[in-house]
Structure 1
Amino acid sequence: MGETVRTLAYGSWPSPIDAALAAAHDGRPDFVGFVGDEAWWTEPRPEEGGRRTLVRRRADGHEESVLPPPWNVRSRVMEYGGQPWAGASTHGGPLVVFVNFADQRLYRYEEGAEPRPLTPVSPVGGGLRWAEPLVRADLGEVWCVLEEFTGEAPTDVRRVLAAVPLDGSAADDRGAVRELTDGRHRFVTGARLSPDGRRAAWLVWDHPRMPWDGTELLVADVTADGTFENTRTVAGGPEESVAQVDWTHDGRLLHSSDAGGWWNLYRDGEPLCPCEEEFGGPLWQVGLRWFAPLEGGLVAVLHGRGALALGVLDPETGEIVDAAGPWTEYAPTLAALGERVVAVGAGPHTAHEVVELDTRTGHCRVVGAAHEDAVDPAYHPEPQVRTFTGPAGQEIHAHVYPPRHPDVTGPPDTPAPYVVWAHGGPTSRAPLVLDLTVAYFTSRGIGVAEVNYGGSTGYGRAYRERLREQWGVVDVEDCAAVALALADEGTADRDRLALRGGSAGGWTTAASLTSTDVYACGTIIYPILDLTGWGTGETHDFESQYLESLVGPLAEVPGRYAERSPVTRADRLTVPFLLLQGLDDVICPPAQCDRFLARLKGRGVPHAYLAFEGEGHGFRRADTMVRALEAELSLYAQVFGFDPPGVPTLELGE
């Protein structure tokens, strides 16, 4: 605390963290890999239209962005994308292939030259899309996941593994793309090649399952000319989720499976370290990596309950030695070269950084996207990792961030206003990392509680399946239970509770505001609002049958779809709200917001609707994020009764 601590009303504390600062630090480095002995990765550029660039770390430690604007290294496979680049070291330097977001073509990049397209543009539907490339310089090809639209509907799509010539001969010729698999399965991940090049392994799954419900692990023999033969299923099934597959350096198959109730590691079908921890996660994108085999036989792993730590597993003993350092949460991206491991780590006081672990010495160091405190860390939130009890006595995991300011405190014996955050997914979880968006609120005297409600990942399959057919029930109950527990213990002000969330979290927010009296207001961000519409063609292929497990089979329980939908219950909404939506969103389309607002018309509920041109599912542009964040704070200020300095007032209409 400073020498003179002032007492000010919660919400009106002066903060050095403005919306522009929070927006500038949004996003994280991702998709790490090696090109030769150099580490490469993708990195967000919110101030450059929200693009993602490719970054390399040269041998002398110099970091540089490889591609200038407007190149945007991002795949749209399954809409959420996946590994968008791969590289190899050649005599002439790095040879890198990448997906460009604007046209979804695959490009070849070499130093000193403009990127050259390798794949054609398709006029059909969403076109041709690529992800999880594997450079096969020996064959003159790059192997990828190919997503090909066959019609105009979002579900008119097929996915196969395909080989693209590196010489550019397929740039205008779809016929020059060689298909490696037969398209029998709806979803595929990229192929992982055995060290001798004679076998390939990949994952598949089919509707209505999501990849965390059940996947199959396939292995095929690979001929000298790169043809797949004798494809067989070696693990997985309808009730078993295999999250990742790879090969050890001596040619043994490694995979992570939740057959035992937790994603654990298996080698040639035998468990390596059976325990109630996760060594995998939800496959929202193809190319996610929770483990990486090392040359000497050890395996770099991400593991834990809730937050995942980086460690090195000895398969012979089952022992894990964790990397030292301030990073307590790792993103699902890993790459290994020799005894080196590159990962993306963060912690409660550190934003995501690219870190390198030397497995011989155990030494871990930052090698990219180094965290620099944008403000005095005294303004950073201090998280409390807590477990609450739900209505049926079950555990609810949450991170609680009380208001924090070095020079200001709230009025004595007065609880703070709190905003409960519901994460997206819903098969996901809130990471325990330094987030300046959280700090934007806590440094002003507003508490934040991130709830990893039933259905969240990181706590085993049983916790994940608490949400089966209970979406809109369990998530709503768990968020309310945390909010009310904080009020009951005197931490939060019962009359000044809010709820906010994006995507599936937007659904939970809207479902809560239309079914409970817990919250005084809410912020609903690119939400699902109408289950029936969403489940009958209003979303993309990947999630088009997600509701079959989250809500129940539409053909059997159509009434449940209508009854739970906020659009049906709009007449029960009585508190102010802010609705934020990207107009280019194909996952949660704006039509859902339009329908919801139409049902509210004339009901006298104060609200604001901000729709953003050029934004899809997840805001990426700095100016969008600034507007959205300031609008959210203004909503709370008006409802909770405080005056935040320097924040424009959001006009609430009825």
Structure 2
Amino acid sequence: MVKIAPYGTWASPISPADAAAAGGGLQWVDLHDGQVWWAESLPEQGGRVALSRVDADGRVRQVLGAPWNVRNRVHEYGGRPWTVVRTGAGDQVAFTHWDDQRVYLVAADDPAAEPVPISPEPAVRHGYRYADLMPGPDGQVWCVRERVTGPARTDVRRELVALPCSGAAAVDEDAVLVLTASHHFMTGPKISPDGRHAAWIGWNHPAMPWDGTELCVAEIGEGGVFGPHRVVAGGAREAVCQVEWDGPESLLALTDPDGWWNLYRVGLDGSARNLAPCQEELGGPMWKLGNRWFASLGQGRHVVLRAGRLAVLDEASATVTDVAVDLPVWQANLAVADGVVVGAASGPTTEAAVVRLDLATGELTALTGQPAHLPDPAYLPLPQERWFSGPDGEAIPAYVYPPHNPDFAAPEGELPPYVVHVHGGPTGRWSAVLDVDVAFFTSRGIGVVAVNYGGSTGYGRAFRERLREQWGVVDVRDCAAVAEALAAEGSADPRRLAVRGGSAGGWTSAASMTSVRTYRCGTIMYPILDLAGWTGAGGETHDFESRYVEGLVGVLPQAAARYQERSPAHRVDQLAGPVLLLQGLEDEICPPEQADRFVAALAGRGIPHAYLTFEGEQHGFRRAETIQAALAAELSFYGQVLGFEPADVPRLELRR
């Protein structure tokens, strides 16, 4: 029998522990000799990233158990952390280990083998970092190396290097072969089929990799060092995001000279042809090094991701055709062999699974199961994909998740509270996949709407660049417009709207609470709060994003007034209501200094607030106990501010 109870008070079978159990993540799926390999974050093991594979008998085996943590901090977001190389001793797995950031080698087929380092031990902790690993010639591992050159967060230099699998570099730093250093930022190099050339993508400050990059090609000289490079695609207003060799004389590249990431064939002479022109995003932003949005099937056919949906591009007909599958959203980790596609895919009620798709038969096989504590589908919300109109008539895409619990209904006439979820990046996007955090709220009678505000990816360069010099304006305005539209149509209670987000989403949440009066309260997670500090000169962020704000806000010193005016750190006196701040204490991207100052400025102002910090957490929360504590605190916070009593979480203490 359905019970009648106010929104926010519904009893839910989805606990914070369930959300934490589903809070891991599959990543870096690949194929080696027909076998599927992948990495996976394990919240119950402190967020350790394990490496697993499917053996020939079809059983899943963890290749590297604790304490090995297959992760790296290149660009602080990390990059492809493993590869399989063939050596005289057989197949070996090369991988980066989080604790010391060194590269290790271990026998692929010997479960008893112990990893041994093949990169040197740096003089300072994490002084060398490696990512985008791939096999090189002559028993080498090719990769990107970051070197810490000084005490500042921006004191970092990068080279493309070769590490000998012999282990010589582990004891002799001179054994590391520096291949080239063409740009301040680079992807790992890829060798041509004939072994004569290498190709990679490079870019320099102040560009971000979705602004402008260059596709570089160089001959491989004597001793393996690259000769002078030439740029064959890309530029200041063109962003190549993936490159693969298509034979010894040509490349396949995802790039966007016409404003959309399409697939091109690029000759070594710089000639380029769009294989299927379309106003569709077949690529994405390079937040991590090593993503793959396309893979070649042969005979002029390629699997691609059309804004996350699997499709096949056919050169002969110049078409891109969706592939109908039960799991519609795929990660950018595509690999193919003999007409079979492998990757990580998910759906609105399904966590990501490693899957194999036979394109000839359409058979989709899940190689990994769902989490043991996955909630009953009856309690999971189904997203409603909608478009809203902004104040200037621009279209704003969003996913709406109304309150949903088969055991409860609200009293007649009551409107539900709603939380606006702001994704990070801001060059990111929300996709319609299962998020147990969202279900945690909707099953208790709290609506959620995830907004792909101007600046989000998946809608072309023009939409992405709506945020150029408008961060803190367009994002705030778009999110508020969606919240207010839901209230105007009678879907949400206009007096009980909240905003939440992490990283850049934390910025927008804080900027919203200090510039508009749409929301009663806000949850601000590992945020940017002071624009001047979040620059290379300010010293409060890492090298990769240290000049990001020049495009998002403006160039200093000309835009200094804009930096001051928009920063929530300088607008604490204009807060519209209570705030909850959540912060990892080892965060190098959005360090705790900014949140510390913001909370200190709140003291004594009479605004209810709470500030929770978490030891051992970097940017984003990975540990099960952190995820549980953060969700429980957030629910209690909403209950106290929006006027309901949650059923099953401890009361969060709010200060004034």
Q: TM-score, normalised by structure 1?
A: 0.96
What secondary structure is seen at the aligned counterpart in 2 of 1:163?
A: strand
The residue aligned with 2:598 is 596
The residue aligned with 1:102 is 99
After superposition, residues 147-162 of structure 1 pair within 5 angstroms as 147-162=146-161
Amino acid at match of 1:219: V
The residue aligned with 2:297 is 294
Amino acid at match of 2:40: E
Q: Is the 8 A contact 1:343 1:355 kept in 2?
A: yes
Amino acid at match of 1:318: A
After superposition, residues 257-336 of structure 1 pair within 5 angstroms as 257-268=255-266, 269-304=272-307, 308-336=308-336
Listed as ranges, the gaps of 5+ residues in structure 2 are 267-271
Amino acid at match of 1:170: A
After superposition, give the CA deviation of every residue in 1:460-519 in whole Å (9 maximum; x if it has no partner). 000000000000000000110000000000000001100000000000000000111111
The farther-off stretch of 84-93 and 509-518 is 84-93
Amino acid at match of 2:74: V
The residue aligned with 1:113 is 113
Shift of the alpha carbon at 1:28? 1.8
CA RMSD of superposed structures (Å): 1.5
What secondary structure is seen at the aligned counterpart in 1 of 2:587?
A: coil
The residue aligned with 1:243 is 241
Shift of the alpha carbon at 1:361? 3.0
After superposition, give the CA deviation of every residue in 1:558-601 in whole Å (9 maximum; x if it has no partner). 11101100010001114111100001011111110111112222
Amino acid at match of 2:497: L
The verdict on how the C-alpha distance between 1:319 and 1:362 changes in structure 2, with shifts beyond 3 A counting, is farther
Shift of the alpha carbon at 1:221? 1.8
Q: Distance in 2 between matches of 1:228 and 1:567?
A: 47
Q: Which of 14, 19, 22 is the equivalent residue of 2:19?
A: 22
Q: Distance in 1 between matches of 2:236 and 2:571?
A: 35
What secondary structure is seen at the aligned counterpart in 1 of 2:85?
A: strand
Q: Distance in 2 between matches of 1:100 and 1:450?
A: 34
Shift of the alpha carbon at 1:87? 0.8
Q: Is the 8 A contact 2:483 2:497 kept in 1?
A: yes
Q: Distance in 2 between matches of 1:153 and 1:327?
A: 44
After superposition, give the CA deviation of every residue in 1:71-105 in whole Å (9 maximum; x if it has no partner). 11011001000100001356865411000011100
Q: Distance in 2 between matches of 1:443 and 1:621?
A: 23
Amino acid at match of 2:560: P
Q: Distance in 1 between matches of 2:86 and 2:297?
A: 19
The farther-off stretch of 397-406 and 86-95 is 86-95
Shift of the alpha carbon at 1:363? 2.7
What secondary structure is seen at the aligned counterpart in 2 of 1:23?
A: helix
Q: Is the 8 A contact 2:18 2:375 kept in 1?
A: no
Q: Is the 8 A contact 1:353 1:371 kept in 2?
A: no
The residue aligned with 2:66 is 69
What secondary structure is seen at the aligned counterpart in 1 of 2:75?
A: coil
The residue aligned with 2:269 is none
Q: Distance in 2 between matches of 1:130 and 1:321?
A: 37
**2:133 maps to 1:169:** no
The residue aligned with 2:29 is 32
After superposition, give the CA deviation of every residue in 1:600-633 in whole Å (9 maximum; x if it has no partner). 2210111110001111101100000100000000
Q: Distance in 1 between matches of 2:361 and 2:301?
A: 14
Shift of the alpha carbon at 1:125? 7.3
Q: Is the 8 A contact 1:292 1:335 kept in 2?
A: yes
Q: Distance in 2 between matches of 1:422 and 1:228?
A: 43
After superposition, residues 423-442 of structure 1 pair within 5 angstroms as 423-442=423-442
Shift of the alpha carbon at 1:312? 2.1
Q: TM-score, normalised by structure 2?
A: 0.96
Q: Distance in 2 between matches of 1:147 and 1:385?
A: 41
Amino acid at match of 1:589: P
Shift of the alpha carbon at 1:369? 4.6
Q: Distance in 2 between matches of 1:646 and 1:578?
A: 19
The farther-off stretch of 593-602 and 442-451 is 593-602
Q: Distance in 1 between matches of 2:121 and 2:415?
A: 58
The farther-off stretch of 409-418 and 544-553 is 409-418
Amino acid at match of 2:328: T
After superposition, give the CA deviation of every residue in 1:394-420 in whole Å (9 maximum; x if it has no partner). 011100000111121112222110000
Q: Is the 8 A contact 1:388 1:397 kept in 2?
A: yes
The residue aligned with 1:611 is 613
**2:14 maps to 1:12:** no
Shift of the alpha carbon at 1:252? 2.8
The residue aligned with 1:447 is 447
Shift of the alpha carbon at 1:274? 0.8
Q: Is the 8 A contact 1:323 1:357 kept in 2?
A: no
What secondary structure is seen at the aligned counterpart in 2 of 1:421?
A: strand
The verdict on how the C-alpha distance between 1:228 and 1:89 changes in structure 2, with shifts beyond 3 A counting, is closer
The farther-off stretch of 435-444 and 348-357 is 348-357
Q: Distance in 2 between matches of 1:368 and 1:251?
A: 39
Shift of the alpha carbon at 1:294? 2.4
Q: Distance in 2 between matches of 1:347 and 1:233?
A: 39
What secondary structure is seen at the aligned counterpart in 2 of 1:517?
A: coil
Amino acid at match of 1:336: V
Amino acid at match of 1:204: G
After superposition, residues 613-652 of structure 1 pair within 5 angstroms as 613-652=615-654
**2:39 maps to 1:42:** yes
The farther-off stretch of 171-180 and 90-99 is 90-99
Q: Is the 8 A contact 1:213 1:239 kept in 2?
A: yes
Shift of the alpha carbon at 1:223? 4.2
The verdict on how the C-alpha distance between 1:376 and 1:489 changes in structure 2, with shifts beyond 3 A counting, is same
Q: Is the 8 A contact 2:300 2:316 kept in 1?
A: no
Q: Distance in 2 between matches of 1:498 and 1:299?
A: 43
Q: Distance in 1 between matches of 2:360 and 2:249?
A: 22
Amino acid at match of 1:473: V
Q: Is the 8 A contact 2:101 2:126 kept in 1?
A: no
The verdict on how the C-alpha distance between 1:76 and 1:199 changes in structure 2, with shifts beyond 3 A counting, is same
